[in-house]
Structure 1
Amino acid sequence: MLHGPRILAQKRQLDRVVERLPDAELPWEGKLDGPDPLRLAVIGDSTAAGTGAPTQEEALPGSLARELHARTGRGIIWRAVGENGIDTHGFVERYLTDAVARPADLVFVSLGANDALHARSAAAFARDLRRLLTTLSDRLPEARILMSNLPVFARFDLIPEPTRTTLYRHSRNLERVAARVIARDGRWMMTETLPPPYGQDFFASDRFHPSASGYADWARWAVDEAWPRGLSDIAYAGRHTEV
C-alpha cells in the first residue's frame, strides 16, 4: 500500500514505452509426422498467441511439439488458442469453447501472468482456474493438462522497482493457489520449480515476451521438468488412429 501510487505510475509508464509486438503469423496449427499422432493444444495469453516470434512453429506451440515428438516418437498434431493480454477470467469467457472444440491428448495452459499484472485477487484467479480445468477435463476426459508456472518477473529488468518485486511476489502467490487447485485431480499437473536463469537471447525485442529462442528454452525446460512426474505417460497412453 505504501508503494501504491509509485507502482501505478510505473505501470502507466511501462504501458507507454513497451514495444507492441504482433502475434505470430497464421496458421496457428501444424503437424509433425509420425505414428499414433498425439494431439496437443496450447491455450492461454500472449505466449499461446506466439507474441515475440514470427510464426507459431517458432513460438511455444511448435517448440512444445518438437520436444514431445523427440520424447515420445509419436507424430504431433498441434494447435493454439489464445489472446495477447488476456487473463484467466477473460479466457474462460471468450475462448473456452474453442479450447475444447477438438480432441486433445495434452493441453498446455499458459495463463496467470496477466492476472498478476492486473493485480487480480488469488480467490478470483483460483475460481476461474477451477472452472477452466474442470471444463477441460469434462469435455476432454482422456487429456492430461499441464499448466506452466508464471513468468519469473524478478528477472524482468525492463520492470522498475518496486513494481518488479511486488509483481513477482504476487505472481508467486498465484502460483501457490494454482498448485492447490491442480492437486485436486490426477489429470492435472503444473511445472513446479523455477526455470533456469533466462539466457541472453530469451527475450524478444520488447524485453518482455519470449523470443523464438526463449520459447524453445521454455518448452524444453517444461517438458524436462514434468516428464519424470507423470508427463511421460503420454508417450504410451491414449493412442488412437488419426481421423
Structure 2
Amino acid sequence: MALPDKTTKAAAGALVALSGLYGLLIGEVLLARKRIGTTDEVPPLSDGVYGVDFPGTPLRVLLMGDSAAVGYGMKQADQTPAALIGFGLSHLIDTPVDIATVAKVGARSSHLREQVAEGRSHRPDLAIIIIGANDVTHQVPPRRAGRLLAAAIAELRSLGADVVVGTCPDLGTVKQLPQPLRVAARILSRKMARGQLVATLAAGGRAVTLADLLGPLFVSKGDVLFGEDRFHPSDVGYATMVSFLNAGAAASWRERRSEDYTGAPRDYMSVARAATEASEHGGTQVVRDGRLARVLRRRR
C-alpha cells in the first residue's frame, strides 16, 4: 500500500486546521451573541404601499431573508429595510411600490422555500433576498446554500418575479470576533458570497455584492453605521445596504420595461470571472446575459 505523499499530508493538515478554525469561529460567534444579547422586540410593521402619489399600478415587492431584511434592532417603522426599499425604490422608478415582508430573524437558505410559499399570495413582480450570514455561522456548505438559493430564485421566477439577491456580508469586520478568527470569518463569508453569486446568476437573478458593506466604511464610521449591539447595522447602516439593493431593483425594473435600457455600463466576462471580481467590490451588481455576465459597478 502506497504511503501518502507530502502534498496529500499537507492538504489533510490544512483541512484539519480549517475545520478547527471553523469550530472556534462558531464558538466565538455564539459567545459574541451572548455578550451582545438578543431582543424579543419585533421591528414595527412597515409593509404597504409607498409612493402613492406616483401614477400607475404599484410594483409588488417581496422582501425575503434573515435579520438584515427584517431590520433587527430598529424601533421606528421608517428605519426598517421594507420602508427604506418602498420609499426609495418608488422615487427611483416614479412608480408606487407595494412591499410585503416574509423575512425572519435567524433564517438560513433552507428557510427560503417556506418564505416563497408564504409570499405567493402577494403575487410579487420583484423579490429582494438578503441571506447568507446564518448559513456561515451554522456551517452550511456554500454549495448547498447556493443550491437552496437557486431553487428559491427559480420558483420566484416561475411566478413571474424578477429577483435581486444581496449576498453574504463580510463577517470578518465584526470586531466582536478576536483575531485570527476574524480572518477566518472573512474567508468563509466571502466564499459563501461567491457561491451565492454564481447560484444567483445560474438561476436568472441579479446579484448585489454586500461583501464590503461592513468594510472600511464601517471601520471608519462604526459609531454611526453599527447599531447599539455592535453586531447589526444601525438605521444608517441599513440605509447604506438598501441603497445598493434599490439600485439593483431599479435597474431590474427598467430592463423589464425596456430591453433597450442602457442606463448602466455593460462589461461582459465569464460568470466565474464576474463572481471573483464582484466578491472583491462591495455594492457591485452582476447579471447573467446568456453564457456571459455583466458587472455593473456602483458609481462613487
Q: Which residue in 2 is equivalent to 1:106?
A: 126
Q: Render the CA deviation track for 1:202-243: whole Å, top value 9, x for unaligned.
A: 12111111121111111113334x379x43516846xxxxxx
Pick from 158, 175, 197: which aligns with 2:176? 158
Determine if the alignment matches structure 1 residue 78 to structure 2 residue 99.
Answer: yes
Q: Which residue in 1 is equivalent to 2:234?
A: 211
- Go from structure 1 to structure 2 and tell me whether the alpha carbon gap of 1:27 and 1:6 turns closer, same or farther (over 3 Å shift): closer
Mapped partners of 1:8, 1:218: distance in 2: 25
Mapped partners of 1:234, 1:213: distance in 2: 29
What amino acid does structure 1 have at the position aligned with 2:167?
N
Mapped partners of 2:151, 2:244: distance in 1: 27
Q: Which residue in 2 is equivalent to 1:240?
A: none
**Whose helix proportion is higher, 1 or 2?**
2
Could you tell me whether the CA contact under 8 Å between 1:24 and 1:50 is conserved in 2?
Answer: yes
Mapped partners of 1:138, 1:102: distance in 2: 14
Determine if the alignment matches structure 1 residue 91 to structure 2 residue 106.
Answer: no
Report which stretch shifted further, 115-124 or 51-60. 51-60
Mapped partners of 2:256, 2:70: distance in 1: 26
Q: Which residue in 1 is equivalent to 2:67?
A: 46
SS at match of 1:39: strand
What amino acid does structure 2 have at the position aligned with 1:171?
S
What amino acid does structure 2 have at the position aligned with 1:222?
L
Q: Which residue in 2 is equivalent to 1:7?
A: 25
Mapped partners of 2:76, 2:36: distance in 1: 21
TM-score, length basis structure 1: 0.84
TM-score, length basis structure 2: 0.69
Report the Cα offset of residue 88 of structure 1: 0.8
Mapped partners of 2:256, 2:153: distance in 1: 22
Mapped partners of 1:77, 1:232: distance in 2: 14
Q: Render the CA deviation track for 1:38-64: whole Å, top value 9, x for unaligned.
A: 222111111222212114431111111
Report the Cα offset of residue 172 of structure 1: 1.0
Pick from 122, 128, 133: which aligns with 2:148? 128
Q: Which residue in 2 is equivalent to 1:190?
A: 207
Report the Cα offset of residue 8 of structure 1: 4.5
Determine if the alignment matches structure 1 residue 16 to structure 2 residue 16.
Answer: no
Could you tell me whether the CA contact under 8 Å between 2:150 and 2:202 is conserved in 1?
Answer: no
- Structure showing greater relative contact order (alpha-carbon pairs closer than 8 Å, 6 or more residues apart): 1
Q: Render the CA deviation track for 1:145-172: whole Å, top value 9, x for unaligned.
A: 1000212212211222233221221111
Could you tell me whether the CA contact under 8 Å between 1:107 and 1:146 is conserved in 2?
Answer: yes
CA-atom RMSD in angstroms: 2.4
SS at match of 1:209: coil
Report the Cα offset of residue 15 of structure 1: 3.2
Mapped partners of 1:134, 1:227: distance in 2: 17
Gaps of 5+ in 2: 1-15, 259-300
What amino acid does structure 1 have at the position aligned with 2:164?
L
- Go from structure 1 to structure 2 and tell me whether the alpha carbon gap of 1:233 and 1:90 turns closer, same or farther (over 3 Å shift): same
What amino acid does structure 2 have at the position aligned with 1:76?
V
Q: Which residue in 2 is equivalent to 1:59?
A: 80
Mapped partners of 1:59, 1:70: distance in 2: 17
Could you tell me whether the CA contact under 8 Å between 1:30 and 1:79 is conserved in 2?
Answer: no
Q: Which residue in 2 is equivalent to 1:223?
A: 246
